[in-house]
Structure 1
Amino acid sequence: MWKSDFIEAKYHLAVAERMMAGYAEYPEKRFLIGVINEAARAVSRLIRSFMIYDEVKGGLNDFLKRVAPKYLDAVTCEHLVKVLEIERAQKESPIEFARGDKIILLIRGKYRFLTASRIGEFVRSAKCAVSAFPVDFRQV
């Protein structure tokens, strides 16, 4: 069961990486939004596969308390959570526009700025989390 989630996590991560590379050639807001959405899908599936592999039931808090410390460092965990928070905030934001390499979101009455380099950091953290998965198999 965890294998299918892990495969999907790797797929969505690969899509996010390709979109990030596409943004370097064509700097448009839709690429960054796509990277956020694909990275969030990858993180969600990855968390699920870690939890199924470790036979832990629960949600994100259970993952952070019981599973993540075994495999991931604190910075990677923080970035994984941030990706999920940013995706939710981006979907709920009534105002969203891009200026240069920044996305500006209105979240709870405050403007938040998100840069392309920061989004790239989140994608790299997701890639580190994929490589930290406890099973070594090359076909997946």
Structure 2
Amino acid sequence: MINSLKKGDTAPGFTLLDQHGKERQAAEFKGKKTIIFFYPAAMTPGCTKEACDFRESESALLAAGYQLIGISKDLPQKLAKFSERDSLEYPLLSDPELIVHSEFNAYGEKKLYGKIVQGVIRSTFILDENWVVVEALHNVKATGHVARIRKLVGLD
């Protein structure tokens, strides 16, 4: 990832549909500290683990002033099922054309089972109120990742 979004960069804007089919723009989330996580596919074991870990930490993150946004290539209908099945109340945004993924450098070459492939790179960004990147974490593991985020934002 040559031009990876990094600490100090301003996060790009976007307009995407959420799990309810509602159009959501980055502008509506600005003004609050934000954690955006990109995950490969809703309702898969690793992504479910990560999303549920964020769900379990959501109240603590909200109390610390952070809002959560999950973004995947899944269509809103699948995100609605994922949200309902796992009681995910934070916005899950649909980016099927991978435009926002690409702007955040969360899509590209990665190793999968020893092979180089093109795909979603599990990534998380911690943004300040002005959407300046405070932390940019690429190639994260689903398990244990949220505990690391909690430490980075001073919760643990």
Shorter-chain TM-score category?
under 0.3
Structure 2-normalised TM-score? 0.24
* Larger RCO of the pair (alpha carbons < 8 Å, separation 6+): 2
**Higher helix proportion:** 1
Structure 1-normalised TM-score? 0.27
Q: Which has the larger radius of gyration?
A: 1
